[in-house]
Amino acid sequence: MTHDTTALNRKRHRFDGVAEVWLFGYGSLIWKADFPFIERRPARLRGWSRRFWQGSHDHRGTPDAPGRVLTLAREPGATCFGIAYLVTPAVFDALDHREKNGYLRHLETLEFDDGRCVDGLVYIADEHNAAWLGPAPDAAIAGQIAAAHGPSGANRDYVLHLADALRAHGAEDAHVFAIECELRRIVA
């Protein structure tokens, strides 16, 4: 699969006759909502875990020195905290560009704190995309993140902003916090 998944996403989900769509953010969409939304709510996605397994050749790194950003990995019994945004379909033009580096939109069930469940779209990059980096030891992931910088800034800022945002919401994420700890050790 190509790095740029914009055209694929536009074929996967058409919005004819749809006025509003829920979108689940689990990475930078938690702390950087640079798009208009109707409503914003904490939500959870069951059966998935956040992982720094996706390469960033376009935002937090370069083609020669990719950064690492989040994707989701299936994990039975896991729950991923995030933020759900109720949006109009028009925002997907910008979001598809933002998430173009190997991410495909998937329809998943989101759960709100009040127990209500809704279907929502989530961008997920799997091992079949050209930017996939896959698992690695925490220290290696943090080392790559510490060295990476791209048009959207230092890769480490992505991690640090996310860790701060998760703590502000009272959310736990052992993987993110372990990478943050290694990263702080490297840059200290």
pTM: 0.93
Q: pLDDT tens, 94-115?
A: 999 889 889 999 999 999 999 9
Tokens of residue 92, six digits: 């997907």
Residue 37 covered by a domain: yes
Label the pairing between strands 117-124 and 21-25: parallel
- Can you tell me the distance from the alpha carbon of 11 to that of 104, in angstroms, rounded to the nearest whole number? 10
At position 32, the amino acid (one-letter code) is K
Q: pLDDT tens, 58-89?
A: 889 999 999 999 999 999 999 999 999 999 99
Other CB atoms within 10 A of residue 140 CB: 12
Question: What is the band of 1 on the pLDDT scale with cuts at 50, 70, 90?
Answer: very low
Question: What is the band of 15 on the pLDDT scale with cuts at 50, 70, 90?
Answer: confident
Positions marked catalytic:
99
Tokens of residue 181, six digits: 């700890």
Range of the domain at 183: 6-187
Interacting residues of 22 by C-beta distance below 8 A, sequence separation 6+: 84, 85, 86, 87, 110, 118, 119, 120, 121
- Can you tell me the distance from the alpha carbon of 148 to that of 143, in angstroms, rounded to the nearest whole number? 9
Phi, psi of 20 (to 5 degrees): -140, 145
Mean residue pLDDT across the chain: 94
How many distinct structural domains can be found in the chain?
1
Residue 1 covered by a domain: no
Residue 173 covered by a domain: yes
